[in-house]
Every structure is written in structure tokens, then in C-alpha cells.
Homo-oligomer: A and B are copies of this chain.
């Protein structure tokens, strides 16, 4: 693993732990953050040893969202022609989106562990993860509305597939802060924990369970669920039939069956 400025990355027991590491800045998302996250997820993609990813924030908070300095620097690139400014802004937004698309498109499950603030861009980020777990006192807010803009790096696109439509709109229009418990009730997080230590243990436990399964089966499962977010049921059925036409020829079925018969834990190749 390379050295990162905005992250700390570790790989142990098939689990990649990606931690936003600017606690003194409430893990605000600066220029380093946006480019390094792409490199990190490319490494995860290319490395078959990684079977599952845990994404967290160092310190008391998960993240306060985009660094306002970065926003300001984008503003400074604008000139007198509104048309050419639009071209510049559109490119910049697409570029920022690409950073979180790297998380969303990751072929391995990505689990977010959230404590403290999870504001603005941080909601965009966790919306691109597979599952979210939090401390009871975590604080979630779609903060973009308070800086006079529509969120544009994923919250408004992905969160409506995760939580119900009615509350989605209330949170997006008002920016109201909710805690871990309400987040769980809405389906934003799967489970809450009393404190950060319990959260880490709980998330690692889920990660370990996933890492023990056949990676061929887990990645196929993820691809199918990802696919269904935007496709029809009949297309999804045809897609999984085509996918499994190859994947059911893998050795992992035999390994799993044999382990099942002998009541032992199966061991799968990466």
C-alpha cells in the first residue's frame, strides 16, 4: 500500500480497512481525499486478496463533508462567460462524482462505520457503500441545502434507493439532523452500537463473516444487487443466468458442498 495523505489503509485477514485520516479537520474532504480515494479503490479492485472493505473516519467524527476551501478554489476558476463557466463546473462535478462512483462500483462489499458527524458530502459517500452501521449518537445531515445548493455527488441519486421517499424529502429539504437510532428506523443504517469500540467490533464481525464466504459468490451477489437498483426484474433474471453460466463452473460450489457435508468451515481461493 502507498502512503496516503487523507487516508490510512490497512489490509488484514482479507479485509481492507480504509480510514479517512484528517481528524483535526473533522475529516473534511480536501483535494487529496478526492483523488486518493480513486487510487485506493483501484488497488482494492485489482487485489483479489481483498474480499471486503471497511470505511471509517479517524477521531471523534466520521466526516464533516467537502472541504469548503475546495469549493472556494473551484469558484475561483470561473470567468466572465456563463456558458464556459457551466462547462467548467459540469466537468468538475463529474470528476468529484467519479470519486464516489469508485466506491459504488467496487466489486467487493464496502461497509461504512459511522460515529459523530456525518454531514453533507459524508452522506453522499456512505450512500455509495453497501451497508452502514453507526453509534447511537452519530449525527446525520444532508447539509448541502444550508450552503445554498442541491447535493450533487450522490446523496440525491443513491439515498432514495435506501430510505423511504417521504423522509428522504424531509431530510433533503430541511437538512434536519438525525441520530443513529432514527437512522436505523429509516433504514439508513443496519444497526447501532453504544460507542465507537462496539461499532468497530460489530462491523469487523460482519466483515469477517463476508470474508469467509466464497469471493466468487459474494462478488456475484453484489453485482446482481447493484444491477437491480437500475434494471427490470426480467433483465436481472437474464443477467444472473448469463453470469452464473460461467460462475457455477467454479470450484467454489464443490468446496462449499464438501465443507457442508463434513461440517467444516470451507476455505475458498481468492
Contact = CB atoms under 8 A, between A and B. Distances in A.
For the complex, would chain A's binding face be called helix, strand, loop or mixed by DSSP majority? helix
Contacts of A176: 209
Interface string A93-136: 11001000100100001000000000000000000001110000
A251 interface: yes
Contact of A229 (B89, B165, B187): B165
A43 interface: no
Integer count of this chain's copies in the complex = 6
Interface in A3-61: none
B206 A246 contact: no
B150 A243 contact: yes
Contact of A131 (B170, B220, B224, B251): B170
11 contacts: A78-B249, A82-B82, A83-B248, A146-B213, A149-B214, A150-B223, A150-B243, A152-B243, A167-B190, A173-B222, A230-B232
Given A82-B249, A144-B221, 18 more contacts: A83-B248, A93-B244, A94-B238, A101-B237, A104-B233, A131-B169, A131-B170, A150-B243, A150-B247, A152-B241, A152-B243, A157-B228, A160-B225, A168-B225, A170-B190, A174-B209, A229-B233, A245-B246
